[in-house]
Structure 1
Amino acid sequence: FIKELLTATQLMIKNPGHFTNEDVFMRAFLPAINQEKTKMEPLFEKFYREEFPKLKGQLQNTILASRIVAKAVEKGYKIVLATNPLFPQLAIQHRMEWAGVKNYPWELVTSYENFYSAKPNIAYFQEIADKIGLEPQECLMVGNDVQEDMVASEIGMGTFLVTDYLIDRQVPKYQVQNEGTLLELEDYIANLPSLE
């Protein structure tokens, strides 16, 4: 089961863009475990409604995340929750709630139901820009993963590497335009020009 799950997840990461990540996952995973979508879908939903929320204690909550998002909204910026779309919307909604950022006016929340690519594929970042009607150069990717988030610089997105909870596998290396702690990110956002 775990092997099949990991294989299907890898296929989502390598998704060439013809199907949603959910479709790619289901087309690989369900036949590998000899199950039908109609049987498994209610089990997945039950897991994400009842079991997944038990992971809440594993996430470090910080009020800073909410303050940073609030500042960006105040200044009139479109906000996107650009999490790796390998999970269903339900799981991501739980994570947003745990982080205290669920109730903001998100322009887009990436999930496996609505995305055709995944990190670190640069097509993922282009897909975001296209869906929100901006050029990559008009976007800022904020993240703590050097390889999965900073790759956005390859298509011209600005980047801010959050050094709290830093993930760095050393290779490949990408251009980092700005970096700092969450507190420094809060100051950075506060100093951006207002769009309103």
Structure 2
Amino acid sequence: MYIFVDYDGTLIKNPESEFFERYFFLLSKFSGIDLSEISRKVMKAVEETAKDTDNGKNLFEKFLEKISDNGDRKYWENLFMEFYKREFSKLKDIITKNDFLVELIKNTDKEVIFASNPLFPKIAVNERIRFVDLSPKRFCYIAHMENSHFVKPDPRFFKEIVEKLSINPADCVMIGDTENDIACEKIGIKFVHVDNEKEIYNIFVKGD
């Protein structure tokens, strides 16, 4: 069995809004760009990236194209990479991890897939995993901007993963908390809400 796991609202109890509020505060401070301006610019680029169906480019390439003006792509790439190296770890202070789910992942022999929406590059995604005291090595696959071409709720996000791993959707389950995650059902992956702890326990321990 392959277990897909979401992050915001699932592996961590924080809603996305709380996480991104702190994220943009730190990014604004680091970049020297006004908070409202940097948040507007990044979110606009993210929205345009999500709508871009060109699967010849990964999400990070698309994002850098969308956010760049007047050939300043390298500036933005360097800014984000330095931010993730130097400041991003401060976000751990606000994280409330889902201890129940984290402990199941630590102790299971099942294959676990990190299936949060790939809105961060690999360097940041690995750090987010460490925020909940897990190792990136614990996952058999981690979705991030560099290896993804679609974002949830586009079912092609899930389709891309199962095709890369050559696995059957019928052998998979997705644990999440929003409509974004329920989109997995469109390709035949079972969805289980994170609040259904009894069923989640059975999945990890009994393989039901």
Gaps of 5+ in 2: 1-36
Is the Cα–Cα contact under 8 Å of residues 65 and 100 in structure 1 kept in the other structure?
Answer: no
**What's the offset of the Cα at 1:35?**
5.1
Q: TM-score with structure 2 length normalisation? A: 0.74
1:126 aligns with 2:159: yes
**CA, structure 1 residues 103+111, in 2 after alignment: closer, same or farther (shift >3 Å)?**
closer
2:140 is matched with 107
SS of match in other structure, 1:151: helix
Give CA-to-partner distance per residue, 1:33-79, whole Å, 9 cap, x none.
Answer: x452322322211111222111112211243233221343x2xx322
Is the Cα–Cα contact under 8 Å of residues 63 and 100 in structure 1 kept in the other structure?
Answer: no
CA–CA separation in structure 1 for the residues paired with 2:138 and 2:48: 31
SS of match in other structure, 1:113: helix
CA–CA separation in structure 2 for the residues paired with 1:12 and 1:64: 34
Select 1:95's aligned residue among 128, 131, 135. 128
Count of aligned pairs: 170
**CA, structure 1 residues 100+58, in 2 after alignment: closer, same or farther (shift >3 Å)?**
same
**What's the offset of the Cα at 1:104?**
3.9
2:100 is matched with 64
Runs of 4+ in 1 over 6 A off after TM superposition: none
1:28 is matched with 66
Gaps of 5+ in 1: 164-179
2:42 is matched with 5
Structure with greater contact order relative to length (CA < 8 Å, sep ≥ 6) = 2
SS of match in other structure, 2:146: coil
**CA, structure 1 residues 51+71, in 2 after alignment: closer, same or farther (shift >3 Å)?**
same
**What's the offset of the Cα at 1:157?**
0.4
Q: TM-score with structure 1 length normalisation? A: 0.78
CA–CA separation in structure 1 for the residues paired with 2:103 and 2:60: 32
Query: More helix per residue: 1 or 2?
Result: 2
**What's the offset of the Cα at 1:129?**
0.5
Q: CA RMSD in A?
A: 1.9
1:153 aligns with 2:185: yes
CA–CA separation in structure 1 for the residues paired with 2:78 and 2:67: 15
Select 2:203's aligned residue among 173, 188, 192. 188
Is the Cα–Cα contact under 8 Å of residues 153 and 180 in structure 2 kept in the other structure?
Answer: yes
Is the Cα–Cα contact under 8 Å of residues 89 and 112 in structure 1 kept in the other structure?
Answer: yes
